[in-house]
Structure 1
Amino acid sequence: MERDLTKTAAYDYDLPKELIAQDPAEPRDSSRLLVVHRKDGLTEDRIFRDITEYLRPGDLLVMNDTRVLPARVEGVKINGGAKVEIFFLNPGARRDEWTALVRPGRKLPEGTKVALDAGVEITVGARLEDGLRTVAFADGDDPFTLIHRYGQTPLPHYITDTHAEPERYQTVYAKREKENSVAAPTAGLHFTPGLLRKLTDMGVPHAFVTLQVGLGTFRPVKAENIAEHVMHTEFCEIPPDAAAAINETKEKGGRVVAVGTTVVRTLESFAREYGRIVPGALSTRLFISPGYRFRVIDALITNFHLPMSTLLMLVSAFGGYETMMRVYNEAVEKRYRFFSFGDSMFIE
Structure 2
Amino acid sequence: MLAVFIYQLDLHYLVPVSNRDLIDADMYRVVRYVIASQKYNEVDLSGNKITQLGAQILAEAIRKNKTLTHLYLVNNRVGDIGVSHLADALEKNTTLTSLKLGGNEIEQKGGEYLGNVLRKNSTLTTLHLQSNQLGDPGAIELGNALKINNTLASLSLVNNCVEAAGAQALAEGLKEHLTLYELDLWNNKVGDDGAMHLATALKSNRTLRYLYLGKNQIGDNGVEHLASALKENTALTHLYLRKNKITAAGAKHLGDALQQNEMLAQLYLFGNQIGDEGVQHLTMGLKKNQHLAVLDVGCNKLNDKGIGSLISIFEDDSVLSTLDIQFNQIGEKNQAKLIRLMHFHPDLKIYW
TM tier relative to shorter chain: under 0.3
Question: TM-score, with normalisation over the residues of structure 2?
Answer: 0.28
Structure with the larger strand share: 1
Task: Decide which structure has greater helix share.
Answer: 2
Compare CA radii of gyration and give the structure with the larger one.
Answer: 2
Q: TM-score, normalised by structure 1?
A: 0.28
